Amino acid sequence: MEHKMIVTRTERLNKVCKIIEQYQYRKNNLVPILQSVQLQYEYLPEDIMEFIAASLQIPAAKVYSVASFYTHFALKPKGKYVIKVCNGTACHVKESLPILDKIRTYLKLDEKKNTTDDMMFTVETVSCLGACGLAPVVVINEEVHSLMTLEKVETLFIDLQAEERKENAA
> Rule CB under 6 A: is residue 137 a binding residue for ligand FES?
yes
Kindly tell me which residue out of 34, 85, 107, 135 binds ligand FES, with binding defined by CB under 6 A: 135
**Cβ 137 to ligand FES, closest distance in Å?**
5
- First and final C-alpha spacing in the chain: 27
By C-beta, is 48 or 135 nearer to ligand FES?
135
Q: Which stretch binds ligand FES (CB under 6 A): 7-15, 24-32, 49-57, 125-133?
A: 125-133
Kindly tell me which residue out of 19, 85, 129, 148 binds ligand FES, with binding defined by CB under 6 A: 129
Q: Which stretch binds ligand FES (CB under 6 A): 2-10, 23-31, 39-47, 81-89?
A: 81-89
> Rule CB under 6 A: is residue 139 a binding residue for ligand FES?
no
Per-residue 3-state assignment (H helix, E strand, C coil) for the chain = CHHHHHHHHHHHHHHHHHHHHHCCCCHHHHHHHHHHHHHHHCCCCHHHHHHHHHHHCCCHHHHHHHHHHCCCCCCCCCCCEEEEEECCHHHHHCCHHHHHHHHHHHHCCCCCCCECCCCCEEEEEECCCCCHHHCCCEEECCEEECCCCHHHHHHHHHHHHHHHHHHHHC
Kindly tell me which residue out of 8, 65, 89, 105 binds ligand FES, with binding defined by CB under 6 A: 89
> Rule CB under 6 A: is residue 91 a binding residue for ligand FES?
yes
- Rg of the Cα atoms in the chain: 19
> Rule CB under 6 A: is residue 60 a binding residue for ligand FES?
no
> Rule CB under 6 A: is residue 153 a binding residue for ligand FES?
no
Q: Return residues touching ligand FES (CB under 6 A).
A: 86, 88-91, 128-132, 135, 137
